[in-house]
Amino acid sequence: MDENSGIKVQDLPGIAPVGRAVNWIFIQLLGQLTAMQARSLKFACESAPKILMPNGLVAAGSLHLTADDLVTLTGCGDVQRIDREVDHLRALGLISKGFIAGVGAQATADMQPTALALHLYVRSQGSLQTPVDYYGLSATTAPPA
């Protein structure tokens, strides 16, 4: 993975100390991401609204991006490739939806990160905090639109 992707496999301070079994999940996921996917996932985890659910778990709201937005974000002009990359993020369980089938002229993707993606992002930032603590969520955090 390149250094411009925003998520680094090497030198992750949050990876080693917590426990190999838990960290192995994150290491395996990172190893399956392309730089384009890592940039997209980083953006989604930073931009999507986050909430603390009543059961104490973290969730993210929808994050709609046009194909043009994704071209700009990824630096890739091939929308078919972007679609495959987004499909792979969904297959890995890191985003909930992906491109939305529709009649409109502009393709739109819902890049809503899953709870697993939020945990991966927080850990890849070198934090040992939970996503709830990392994002400063509380019971008063408004639900995503």
Domain boundaries, the chain: 20-134
Three-state DSSP state, 122: helix
Q: In sequence order, what are the residues at sequence separation of 6 or more whose Cβ sits closer than 8 angstroms to the Cβ of residue 65?
A: 73, 108, 109, 111
pLDDT category, 23, cuts 50, 70, 90?
Answer: confident
Q: How far apart are CA 60 and CA 144, in angstroms?
A: 7
* pTM value > 0.75: yes
The rounded percent of the chain whose pLDDT value lies above 70 is: 78
| Res 9: pLDDT | 47
Confidence at residue 84, expressed as pLDDT on a 0 to 100 scale: 94
Task: Report the 10 Å Cβ neighbour count for 15.
Answer: 20
pLDDT of residue 5: 54
Q: According to the per-residue pLDDT averaged within each range, which of 20-34, 108-122, 126-140 is highest? A: 108-122
Q: How far apart are the C-alpha atoms of 37 and 41, rounded to whole Å?
A: 6
32-75: pLDDT as tens digits: 999 999 999 999 999 999 999 999 999 999 999 999 999 999 99
Mean pLDDT value across residues 100-116:
83
Mean pLDDT of the residues in the chain? 84
Give 99's strand partners. 109
Q: What burial letters (b/e) apply to 114-138, b meaning 16+ CB within 10 Å?
A: bbebbbbbbbbbeeeeebbebbebe
Percent residues over pLDDT 90 in the chain: 64
pLDDT (mean) for 1-16: 49
Mapping DSSP onto H, E and C, the string for 57-78 reads CEEECCCEEEHHHHHHHHCCCC
Predicted confidence at residue 107, as pLDDT, reads 85
Q: What is the C-alpha separation between 138 and 53, in angstroms, rounded?
A: 9
Class of the CATH domain delimited by 20-134: mainly alpha
Q: Between the CA of residue 145 and those of 62, 69, 112, what are the distances in Å?
A: 7, 20, 12
